[in-house]
Amino acid sequence: MSTSKNLSPSVDAMRDLDIQAFFEKGARFDQLILNVQSGVKYIDKVNKVKNMNMQLEKYIIDFAEVLLKTIDAKDNYTGSHSKRVAEYALRLGGYIDLDKDSYETLKMAANFHDIGKIGIPDDVLSKTTKLTDEEYEIIKTHSTIGANILSVSDVFKDIAFIVKCHHERIDGRGYPSGLTGEEIPFLSKIISIADTFDAMTTKRSYKESFDIDYAINELNRVKGTQLDSELTEKFLQLINMDKNNFIIHDYIEKDEVAN
Ligand SMILES: [Fe+2]
Ligand SMILES: [Fe+2]
């Protein structure tokens, strides 16, 4: 900045206002040029660090995608399942006008909600017959394992708790913590609806897929106990806007090819 001597800012003011340098009227013009050049260099360096951080963030997300693919290899449906859950969750997020930051957080959390399945033994994860109580307890650890994996990285730490709570129920009968109603993060409630809907409408190793009418009935039945009532109502409104095309079939076909 340029100023006359008696208007020079104090050191405290410079610190508070993050002023990098000031230029006194009447001082040498080449000093001003030097100040401007050093300011430009400073901005350039900040931008480079920002770009490096963005690049690093991208590498970490790419690496997590690799982890997701690894789960997909262990359990045929899961990789595409996560993509479908993210798509359904974002449809609902868009419909209820989530703010941009929450929308992005929802996208990431939905994509990685089952990442903890990486820690579940293959024979339990891909079992085609009914799980024993003990095996079900093992499956249930995936939400906590996922949260633990995600919480070690700054990029994912915001979604760790959301992922941890994606199997909590409004009535407190969910896992891992038995949280109720308002204790459950809002975005976990959205993922939970999308997750339940996809589980019903796709073929799994242990069951056939159900049609849209079955899913609508089930959503109506479990709203207010398993799933958040208001959000489920919104989701049902969305389904009814395009009922015959709402289920994502292309990912299902991909699964069937994989099978
Ligand atoms: Fe899950
Ligand atoms: Fe899931």
Q: Which tens digit of pLDDT belongs to each residue from 11-48? A: 787 777 776 666 666 657 777 777 777 877 877 888 88
CA of 78 to the centre of ligand 1 (A): 9
pTM of the full structure: 0.76
Using the 3D structure, point to which of 40, 55, 74 is the last residue of a domain.
74
Find which of 29-43, 72-86, 93-107, 191-205 is predicted with most confidence, using mean pLDDT: 93-107
CA of 197 to the centre of ligand 2 (A): 10
Residues 191 and 97 in one domain: yes
Q: Which domain range does residue 27 map to?
A: 1-74
Measured CA to CA, the distance from residue 258 to residue 20 in angstroms comes to 59
Residues 203 and 145 in one domain: yes
Residues 84 and 43 in one domain: no
Which residues have CB under 8 Å from 101's CB, separation 6+?
Answer: none
User: Which CATH number is 84's domain given?
Assistant: 1.10.3210.10
Residues 135 and 170 in one domain: yes
Residues 37 and 101 in one domain: no
Q: Which tens digit of pLDDT belongs to each residue from 120-163? A: 998 888 888 888 999 999 999 999 999 999 998 888 889 999 99
Using the 3D structure, point to which of 28, 49, 74 is the last residue of a domain.
74
CA of 31 to the centre of ligand 1 (A): 62
Predicted local confidence at residue 1, as pLDDT: 47
Total domains in the chain come to 2
Residues 209 and 131 in one domain: yes
Q: How confident is the model at residue 239 (pLDDT cuts 50, 70, 90)?
A: very high
Predicted local confidence at residue 253, as pLDDT: 44
Residue 258: pLDDT over 60: no
